[in-house]
A = this chain, B = another copy of it.
Amino acid sequence: METVERAGAARFAPIDPAGLGSQLHCFIRELYPICRSITGEGLRKTLRRIGARIPLAVTEVPTGTPVFDWTVPREWNIRDAYIKDSAGKTLVDFRCSNLHVVNYSVPVRERMPLAALKQHLFTLPDHPHWTPYLTSYYNDTWGFCLAHERLLEMKDAEYEVVIDSSLEDGALSYGECFLPGERSDEVLISAHTCHPSLCNDNLSGIAVAVFLAALLRGASLRYSYRFLFAPGTIGTITWLALHESRVSDIKGGFVLTCVGDRSPCTYKKSRLGNAEIDRAFEQVLRHAGLPYRIQEFSPSGFDERQFCSPGFDLPVGCFMRAGSGYAENHTSADDLDLVSPSALAESLLRCWTVIDLLENNRTYIGRVQKCEPQLSKRGLYRTLGGRAPTGEEENAMRWVLNFSDGENSLLDIAERSGISFEILRSAAEALLRSELLRAT
């Protein structure tokens, strides 16, 4: 079983991925039934469940607030929705799945023939068992989503159509969990909270973020950490608008989304492309011993679109697995079976290791710059020279000593040497104990 063992500073306790996987999945099951949107009671309820596990400050931003090019929209709430046939039989029922209603549908209460109703019915003919997930946030309309096979069964008759929703002035809600560290420099971890009953996108991201925050909460931290739980796009835009003057504190960060499926871990770089966070994820994934992917930045995707807009250009990437490219994305098939406890745990472990790297990525200066220091007189050299094999740690010490000229961080040395950050950090700690290094 893979664990994070902390040599050296050992600020963090080791974590047990196996136990965490089932806890993560359990939290996803808890949040799954709630009908979330970019505003409304479902979103608030979700934030309350998060707040039960980690300290969370919730902000309510009133409808009509201008946020850059956007405006906070009216608040949407829904109580019920259904389509009944003339015999009163319910064919499509919001109570069975909140995906059945186009998110942000205006209220409707009508009787209409199938031909007229069909303008408002959406299916996936290529996946006849699945219900699609659709939204209409900024276009007043209404609709139902259903399995294509259900649509085929609907006869040319009259139907009763009800959406008991409301669109009224209210607020957009988001939550923040801030964990202060020694420095005011922040690491930002963001997960969108607007999707209704969809597990991978993005209950998986919410769950991993919550557990990361819980794990970090008790630790002594170098950086401050901010976990943001906001609706996608408009929520993140709202947060950025309200925190515009403080984003310069963000030293690095990542969006967490779709981290529960069984595809390889994938990191999409920030627009900057070579930020420390980008290099940290690449380093951690390279040495994790499993397949992984690194993607260049592109302006489609998730909330990194906002963090990496040219006026901010923050060092914020996106950590995911399949990304949005999996067939089940934005359908009812993105369900509890799609997300795996072991994938969730692996995703958490990678993030944890990245944070560990950021916390420990120092730049040292060797006290002996001219020629090598004598390792043997400090007990850092094997007993006999010659044929006796050089240990991995002695090799790592030589890399740290040679490149600790004040210009190279441990991550720089890891990249140049091919040796893992973890081994180099152990070597650096041994050298610090022998006073062969000092911090810059």
Contact = CB atoms under 8 A, between A and B. Distances in A.
Interface of A: 67-70, 102-103, 122, 124, 132-139, 143, 233, 236-237, 240-241, 244, 271, 298-300, 305-306, 308-312, 329-331, 366, 368-374, 376-377, 381, 383-388, 390, 395, 398-399, 401-405, 417
A119 to B, nearest CB: 12
Given A69-B371, A271-B402, A402-B299, A385 B240 contact: no
Copies of this protein chain in the complex: 3
A395 B300 contact: yes
A135 B386 contact: yes
A297 to B, nearest CB: 9
A124 B69 contact: no
A201 B331 CA distance: 61
A50 to B, nearest CB: 23
B298 A387 contact: no
Secondary structure at the A interface, as helix, strand, loop or mixed, is: loop
Nearest to A271: B402
A336 to B, nearest CB: 19
Contact of A133 (B305, B387, B403): B387
A366 to B, nearest CB: 7
Contact of A68 (B370, B376, B402): B370
A244 B370 contact: yes
B366 A310 contact: yes
B369 A310 contact: yes
Contact of A371 (B237, B298, B403): B237
A388 B310 CA distance: 27
A372 B402 contact: no
Given A305-B402, A310-B404, A311-B371, 9 more contacts: A69-B368, A69-B372, A103-B386, A122-B387, A124-B387, A133-B386, A135-B386, A138-B376, A138-B377
Given A138-B376, A374-B69, A401-B299, A387 B330 contact: yes
